[in-house]
C-alpha cells in the first residue's frame, strides 16, 4: 500500500446545478460529495488545483484517502470522477467512506512488465495488445495494492493472458473470477503483425507454381 493521500475539503451549503456552475467558474473550485458508512452524505468543495495535482498520481484512484472535512478526517476512496467532455477538467468527485474491517471493491491499475523484451515481440515480431488496464478486486481497505503486475517476458505470439493467470497479493481476490470460470477475462495478448499469414501463403503459392513450371519444362 502506498503513502496516505490527504484531501482538504470544505462543507458546501449552496447546492444544485446553478451553484455548482458558479463554484467552478468564479472560485475555481470543484463540487464533491462524500457518502456511505453510518453518516449522512455531505456536500463538499475542493480546490481545483489541489485535486487535479493529486489525480496525477495513479494510486490516488484506488488507495484509501484521508478526506479532511472542516477538521474531521474521514477515510474514503474515490468512487467516481466526472470530467468536462472537451476540456477534461474535473467537474465533480464522489468519495465513498470505508470501514477498515469491511471488504470493498476497487479497480486497481495494471503494470505490464518486460514488454520490450517479450518473446512474441522481440523474437517473432508480434505486437502486444492490452484487453484491460485495470482489475476490479475485493479486499480489506488496508490490503488494496497500489498496482498489479503482469509479466509479458515469456508470452509468445498468439498467446492470451487471462485473469486467472495473474498473481494477486494475499487477501486480494478478483471480483470477476468470483462469478465463475465464464468470467475469466482476457488481460493481454501478443498478435502477429498484420499481413504475415497472407504473405506466407503467397510465398508458398509462388514456390509451388515455380516447381510445377520446372517439372513441365523437364517433361518436354
Residue 198 pLDDT > 80: no
> What per-residue confidence (pLDDT) applies to 137?
98
- What is the per-residue pLDDT for 4? 77
The domain locations on the chain are 5-97, 104-197
Higher pLDDT, 15 or 212: 15
User: In the predicted model, is pLDDT for residue 64 greater than 80?
Assistant: yes
Q: Is the pLDDT of residue 131 over 80?
A: yes
Residue 207: predicted pLDDT: 47
Averaged pLDDT of the chain? 86
Burial label for 123, CB within 10 Å (0-12, 13-18, 19+), is exposed
Two domains, one topology: 5-97 and 104-197: no
pLDDT at 105 over 70: yes
pLDDT computed for residue 89 by the predictor = 87
- Top CATH class of 5-97 equals mainly beta
Query: Higher pLDDT residue, 49 or 193?
Result: 49
CA distance 187 to 208: 40
Average pLDDT over residues 192-198: 68
Q: How confident is the model at residue 16 (pLDDT cuts 50, 70, 90)?
A: low
pLDDT score recorded for residue 176: 98
Residue position matching grid coordinates 481545483: 48
Give the per-residue pLDDT at 12: 86
pLDDT(49) > 50: yes
State the pLDDT confidence band at 28, using cuts at 50, 70 and 90. confident
pLDDT at 157 over 90: yes
In whole angstroms, give the CA distance from residue 99 to residue 142: 10
Position 88 confidence tier, pLDDT thresholds 50, 70, 90: confident
Minimum mean pLDDT range among 24-28, 32-36, 91-95, 154-158: 24-28
CATH architecture of 104-197: Beta Complex (2.170)
Amino acid at each position: 500500500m502506498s503513502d496516505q493521500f490527504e484531501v482538504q475539503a470544505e462543507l458546501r451549503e449552496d447546492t444544485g446545478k446553478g451553484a455548482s456552475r458558479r463554484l467552478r467558474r468564479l472560485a475555481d473550485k470543484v463540487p464533491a460529495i462524500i457518502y456511505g458508512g453510518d453518516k449522512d452524505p455531505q456536500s463538499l468543495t475542493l480546490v481545483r488545483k489541489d485535486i487535479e495535482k493529486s489525480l496525477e498520481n495513479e494510486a490516488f484512484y484506488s488507495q484509501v484517502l484521508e478526506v479532511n472535512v472542516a477538521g474531521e478526517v474521514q477515510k474514503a476512496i474515490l468512487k467516481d470522477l466526472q470530467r468536462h467532455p472537451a476540456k477534461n477538467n474535473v467537474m465533480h468527485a464522489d468519495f465513498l467512506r470505508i470501514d477498515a474491517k469491511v471488504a470493498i471493491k476497487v479497480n486497481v491499475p495494471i503494470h505490464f512488465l518486460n514488454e520490450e523484451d517479450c518473446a512474441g515481440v522481440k523474437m517473432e515480431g508480434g505486437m502486444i495488445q492490452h484487453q484491460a488496464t485495470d482489475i476490479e478486486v475485493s479486499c480489506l481497505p488496508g490490503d488494496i495494492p497500489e498496482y498489479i503486475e503482469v509479466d509479458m517476458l515469456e508470452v509468445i505470439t498468439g498467446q492470451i493472458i487471462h485473469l486467472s493467470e495473474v498473481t494477486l497479493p494475499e487477501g486480494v481476490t478478483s471480483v470477476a473470477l468470483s462469478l465463475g470460470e465464464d468470467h475469466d477475462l482476457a488481460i493481454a495478448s501478443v498478435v502477429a503483425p498484420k499481413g504475415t499469414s497472407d504473405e506466407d501463403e503467397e510465398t508458398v503459392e509462388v514456390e509451388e507454381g515455380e516447381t510445377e513450371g520446372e517439372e513441365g519444362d523437364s517433361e518436354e
